[in-house]
Amino acid sequence: MSAGAPVRDVVVVGGGLAGWSAAAALKRRVPSLRVTILPIAQPADALTDRIACTLPSIRGFHADLGIGEEDAVLRTGSSYRLGTSFAGWAESQPDYVHAYGPHGAAVSGQSFHLHWTRAARDGGASPFDEFSAAATLARLGRFAPGDRDPRDPLAGHEYGLTLNLAAYASMLRAFAQHCGVIEQPRGLRAVRLRDDGWIDALELEDGSEQRAHLFLDCTGPAALLRSTIDDTRDDWRRWLPCDRVLFGTTPSAEAPSPLDRVTAWEAGWLWSAATPGGCGVVYASAQADDEAAERLLSVGGATPIGTPVAIAAGNRIEPWRGNCVAIGEAATVIEPLEWTNLHLAHSAIDRLIAMLPDQNCAPVEAADYNRQHIAEAERVRDFVALHYAAAKRPEPFWRGCAAADLPDSLAHTLSLFRERGRLPFYQEDTFDRDSWLAVLIGQGELPRRVDPLVEAVPAAESREFMARWQRAIAAAVPSRPTLAAYLGAQHRRLAR
């Protein structure tokens, strides 16, 4: 097969974080491209632009672009987050923290959690998250980057950011422009297709046309470009029961915290993130009306922002078709639990850059992209759905969740874990084993039996290791600054 001419012109449609991230990354990492963005306003249901909490992957995305933390975090008034505290998800279980780092360390070659399982079965284990240095720091409001010194007991974890959304979006826009992204501040009137389903041109509101070799649809769930070609989506609503979000603001600025809180209630969950994050309620409209959600917010002292937003969970199985690639929520619509919306956009951008086609946009290349996209999105879906499947609450909504059918891959994961504490490997899993364990064990799932490989290690040896690990964490944590102090020091350094 002869190679086509290289792609030179890329048009990105969408003026939210997904669009600006895509434009900046393409131009920065493949400077030979001419990247034009149509920064049309994001609709209210684009969660990516409304959720302040982000996963650790955002830091790698910044690093690849050469955006330092001074610009991304300090100058935007953003903050750091080590994880999420989950409350009320399983009756009779204490709150648990999902932080981004290891729990303990392997003992005699066997994963720590298998040793913990044996101790728990014997009736004597401290909560699992107490063996996570990051979770312990987070509970105490302290912060350490975790990636500096491998000999440090508090190393090995990662952290995400809590974005000051408006300032961060401005920074990203300025960065993209600085890199040479061309801003085309015109509205989109129509998408004109060729007979073969490729995009011929975008018709703009001023009557002009925008052509390109490759079109990126970053317009949110409506997928204004991609949906004109076809709208085939895999419907996930039967596995992800919440279909509405009501956003809120809290009246006064709290002290910075590295931990956001996610609390289950009778028909969904609510969150509150420390400044500059926000809060909100996510719920199933079949089980709770919008007034109930508003009441819930106001009980916590928050004020609703606008009207509730509908979420139709689902995944486009061909986000890339012809010369059009749907990025972020234009490809995958999923509720905000575990903060995956911006992550999925970043991951799609990285994947596209690694798979940038020539002008032929060969279907075999798009198929490979789409295959990876599906694998990734479905595992994110599984991880989010896990929180519902493993929840233990008495209300009808939660009883329904516990009884619902699961996607095969999640059913297999759950049954293998429940049987013997192992986790099957799947390609493109966003969340590593420690994340799965944090939620599974945090919500009270205890494997039925102890793995035989762990039985080879004397129980006393496991217990001794566990005690040592806890002591090491306890000894190291007090020397770490509070997040407020850490941020303060960084800001002072920046001011010098």
Partner 1 sequence: MAGGEKVRVVVIGGGTAGWMTAAALTKLLPHACDVHLIESEAIGIVGVGEATLPQIRGFNARLSIDEAEFMARTRATFKLGIEFRDWGKPGDSYFHPFGTFGRGYGAVDFHHYWARLRAAGVAVPPIETFSYACTMARQNRFAPPASDPRDLRSTMGYAYQFDALLFAPYLRTLAEELGARRTEGMVVAVDRDGESGDIKAVALASGERIEGDLFVDCSGFRALLIGETMDEPFQDWSPWLPCDRAVAMPCRTETALTPYTGVIAMPGGWRWRIPLQNRTGNGYVYASAFTDDDTAARALESVVEGKAIARPRVLRFRAGRRERSWVGNCVAIGLASGFLEPLESTSLYLVQAAITALIELFPERRVSRVDRDEFNRVIDVEYDRIRDFLILHYHATTRSDSPFWDYVRTMPIPDSLAEKIALFRSCGRVMKHREGVFLDASWIAVYTGQGILPGGYDPRADLPVADTLIEGLQALRGEIGARVAEAPTHSDYIKRFCRMAEAA
Question: Which residues lie near partner 1 (CB under 8 A)?
Answer: 1-4, 6-7, 29-32, 118, 121, 353-358, 362, 364-365, 367-368, 372, 412, 415-416, 419-420, 422, 424-425, 427, 449-453, 455-456
Three-class secondary structure of residue 422 per DSSP: coil
> How is 38-87 classified by DSSP, letter by letter?
E-PPPPTT-GGGT--B--THHHHHHHHHT--HIIIIITTT-EEE-EEEEE
Contact 51, 135 (CB under 8 A): no
| Shortest CB 238 distance to partner 1, Å | 23
| Shortest CB 354 distance to partner 1, Å | 7
Q: For residues 227 and 188, give the distance between their C-alpha atoms in angstroms, rounded to a whole number.
A: 14
Which C-beta is closer to partner 1: that of 122 or that of 405? 122
DSSP-derived pairing of the beta strands 233-235 and 244-249: unpaired
DSSP-derived pairing of the beta strands 182-183 and 160-162: unpaired
| Shortest CB 196 distance to partner 1, Å | 18
Contact 11, 215 (CB under 8 A): yes
| Shortest CB 104 distance to partner 1, Å | 19
| Shortest CB 456 distance to partner 1, Å | 6
| Shortest CB 124 distance to partner 1, Å | 14
DSSP-derived pairing of the beta strands 182-183 and 34-38: parallel
Nearest CA to 429 out of 381, 369, 385, 391 is that of 381
Contact 65, 25 (CB under 8 A): yes
Contact 96, 262 (CB under 8 A): no
Which C-beta is closer to partner 1: that of 95 or that of 365? 365
Contact 132, 97 (CB under 8 A): yes
Q: For residues 253 and 274, give the distance between their C-alpha atoms in angstroms, rounded to a whole number.
A: 8
Three-class secondary structure of residue 15 per DSSP: coil
Phi, psi of 75 (to 5 degrees): -70, -20
Q: For residues 332 and 123, give the distance between their C-alpha atoms in angstroms, rounded to a whole number.
A: 42
Alpha carbon 446 to its chain's center: 26
| Shortest CB 428 distance to partner 1, Å | 8
| Shortest CB 358 distance to partner 1, Å | 5
Which C-beta is closer to partner 1: that of 188 or that of 457? 457
Neighbouring C-beta atoms of residue 464, cutoff 10 Å: 12
Please, which residues bridge with residue 352 across strands? Answer: none
| Shortest CB 434 distance to partner 1, Å | 18
Which C-beta is closer to partner 1: that of 205 or that of 419? 419
Which C-beta is closer to partner 1: that of 95 or that of 358? 358
C-alpha distances (whole Å) from 308 to each of 161, 294, 305, 383, 413 are 25, 9, 8, 24, 33
Which C-beta is closer to partner 1: that of 1 or that of 253? 1
Which C-beta is closer to partner 1: that of 193 or that of 362? 362
Three-class secondary structure of residue 188 per DSSP: strand
| Shortest CB 452 distance to partner 1, Å | 4
Contact 159, 72 (CB under 8 A): no
What single-letter amino acid sits at 384?
V
Which C-beta is closer to partner 1: that of 186 or that of 412? 412
Which C-beta is closer to partner 1: that of 121 or that of 463? 121
Which C-beta is closer to partner 1: that of 87 or that of 353? 353
| Shortest CB 457 distance to partner 1, Å | 10
Which C-beta is closer to partner 1: that of 452 or that of 478? 452
Which C-beta is closer to partner 1: that of 405 or that of 408? 408
| Shortest CB 323 distance to partner 1, Å | 15
DSSP-derived pairing of the beta strands 268-272 and 259-265: antiparallel
Three-class secondary structure of residue 348 per DSSP: helix
**DSSP-assigned letter for residue 309:** E
Phi, psi of 86 (to 5 degrees): -110, 125
| Shortest CB 382 distance to partner 1, Å | 15
Which C-beta is closer to partner 1: that of 29 or that of 186? 29
Three-class secondary structure of residue 88 per DSSP: coil
